[in-house]
Amino acid sequence: MNFFEHQAAARRGSGRLVLLFALAVLGIVLVVDLATLAATGSVGATLAATVATLAVIGLGSLYRIASLRGGGAVVAAQMGGSFVPEDTHDPSLRRLRNVVEEISIASGVPVPKLFVLEQEAGINAFAAGYGPADAAVAVTRGALDRLNRDELQGVIAHEFSHVLNGDMRLNIRLIGLLFGILMLSLIGQRILLYGRFGRSRDTTPILLAAMVAMLVGSVGVFFGRMIKAGVSRQREYLADASAVQFTRQTRGLAGALKKIGGLDQGSKLQDKAGAEEVSHMLFGQGTALAGMFATHPPLVERIRRLEPAFDARQLQELQARWLIAPPDGLAEDRALGLAARDASAPPASPARTGAMPPPLPAAGARIVVTPPMVAGQVATPGEDDYRRAHEVVASLDPQLRALARQREAAMPLLLGLLLDEDGAVAARQRSEIVARCGEGMAAQAFELRRQYLERLHPSLRLPLASLSFPALRQRPRPELDGFLDTIEAMVHTDGRVSVFEYCLSKLLQVQVREALDPSRHARFGRNKVPGVRQEFAILLAVVAQAGHPGEPMQAQRAYLAGLQRVLPRDHLPYAPPAEGVQALDAVWAPLDALVPAAKQVLVEALVDAASHDRQVSVAEAELLRTVCALLHCPLPPMLERG
């Protein structure tokens, strides 16, 4: 399945989840009603029990959903995760952050927040959140200590597939819904726990009611585990396959699974209550449940899908070997020659060493693409994208990379990316920054522009913004609100805004807003093509005009090529909006709410408009990538796949 098919499957899965939840609630209510009717013989009491049960389940679900409004970081923190700072020099944490940053750039999404479950010796990980903007990735201390870099990369790539395919949104909603159907059991447990310290004749009925609640609640536990197992198992196979497609090697992922099977700790979590709640989100089986309640496929079967010749007896050999000398991931990195990529000190600047960075396409180069090819790359990174991501990171000045990870430097760095080349316009932009953020912020932005950003390759602007995003999210909300106001003012300083400046500023605003209030923006689209014809026409006209400035006939041909792809029977004339790129403000929400199949057609139409001759410039490719990111269809950094 491609990205759009995954999104459609996630949307169907959301509907199926609601149906299963309703059936589970019906089963619990039925058991409660039968017990009440048998005990009292009263229809009125039975009706009251029905209302009370529905209220307990509904309020429990609403409470848990509300507690998760903060997104992935809330889930990671509730599991005891410790935040991994952007500028860490701890070798294992630096390696983790480097792997995540490279995979993030390769997949075209913001770098997620990182957490470590320090008390967990088992090998496990999970990704949580409503979408890429608020995603958090958590790994156990056991994964950091035991896995080498290739194995860690395979695990992280597996988790990123959940980020890209919409699985996270389903997973976090599942936590909220299942909490509701477990409420009766939890209430019964609490009453029994505290009631045993004050037993008397007066409390006996209450304790009996608590025991009944636990027995009835076991129905909820049964349904909850069945739902999680049904939702999770097949998706783990798909995530394994996506990770292999991404990294182009089975060794890392298979090695991680073998270490789970060969070490005493396996993938089990010590926090049993937490493991039960997030079991459907984990990389490996986090609880002792097996059979029809297992949230993951059998370990040996997962390994065999990666290595068909694998013999289960090999796990026994590994168990015997590692019982004496457990694996050390960092030591394996040194032996395999992988440690150099994660040295804690940043490498010297190429300008100082004379070494040339890995090649990027020339700024004036043209890339041969086709609409189906680009649509197939959306949120589907491959090994060449991972290689390009490493090249991109290596091509960034080390000092610039260090600044992107600093909390105090993220804002001026991103503001510097939006400064206009025209000195008069930039001076007015400086006034806007000073008015909202102060003279110090303005001075930093202009200095960073002078030192680093004026000569920055077009292919490096979005990756740099992605690296800056985690540090940006750490700023207090009032500062972020002021930052968004500043961006808006800079873009509209004189009304002459380039398409890229507009799109980058809009992308930053969208990602910050989604990170601040993730649950509000977590929706599956329902719009169809006929309902957004005018929005299609506006976007295609702006993209066509941007790709052919001063060439109205060429722009019209590009527009018609895109329109033919998405609306072949319509005859909407080419009419570039008078307000230019600012007309796009009205199109993002309706187009982002398209059903997945319509989004795929839209991406193909955009490629047609950007390259009706089947070629795009580097600048046009970056524009296309930015527009796709605004529509939550992230493109990898490498359109010209080999």
Close Cβ partners of 603 (under 8 Å, ≥ 6 residues apart): 371, 374, 375, 378, 628, 631, 633
Query: Which residue in this structure is represented by tokens 């990756």?
Result: 463
Query: Which residue in this structure is represented by tokens 């040339």?
Result: 356
The 3-state DSSP class for residue 105 equals: helix
Q: Beta 113-117 vs 136-140: how paired, if at all? A: parallel
The 3-state DSSP class for residue 361 equals: coil
> Measured between alpha carbons, how far is 212 from 35 in angstroms, rounded to an integer?
9
Percentage helix, strand, coil for the chain under 3-state DSSP, each rounded to 5: 70, 5, 25
> Measured between alpha carbons, how far is 356 from 568 in angstroms, rounded to an integer?
48
Phi/psi at 123 (nearest 5 deg)? -95, 110
Q: Where are the alpha helices (DSSP H) in 263-421?
A: 272-278, 299-306, 313-324, 329-336, 350-353, 371-377, 383-395, 398-404, 410-417
Query: Which residue in this structure is represented by tokens 């396409």?
Result: 361
Close Cβ partners of 206 (under 8 Å, ≥ 6 residues apart): 191, 195
> Measured between alpha carbons, how far is 46 from 32 in angstroms, rounded to an integer?
8
Q: Where are the alpha helices (DSSP H) in 79-203?
A: 91-107, 141-146, 149-165, 167-181, 183-195
Residue 567 parent element (H or E)? none
> Measured between alpha carbons, how far is 272 from 334 in angstroms, rounded to an integer?
35
The 3-state DSSP class for residue 113 equals: strand
Query: Which residue in this structure is represented by tokens 């189906």?
Result: 372
> Measured between alpha carbons, how far is 551 from 112 in angstroms, rounded to an integer?
41
> Measured between alpha carbons, how far is 117 from 274 in angstroms, rounded to an integer?
12
Are 492 and 428 spatial neighbours (Cβ–Cβ below 8 Å)?
A: no
Furthest C-alpha separation in the chain: 91
> For the range 188-196, what are the long-range contacts, defined as Cβ-Cβ under 8 Å and sequence gap of 24 or more?
188/212, 188/213, 188/214, 188/215, 188/217, 189/214
Query: Which residue in this structure is represented by tokens 């912020």?
Result: 441
Task: Give the length of the chain.
Answer: 642
Phi/psi at 531 (nearest 5 deg)? -80, -10
Tell me whether residue 159 is one of the annotated catalytic residues.
yes
Supply 325's token pair. Answer: 């000398």
**Which residue of the set 159, 236, 391, 432 is catalytic?**
159
Tell me which residues are annotated as active site: 159
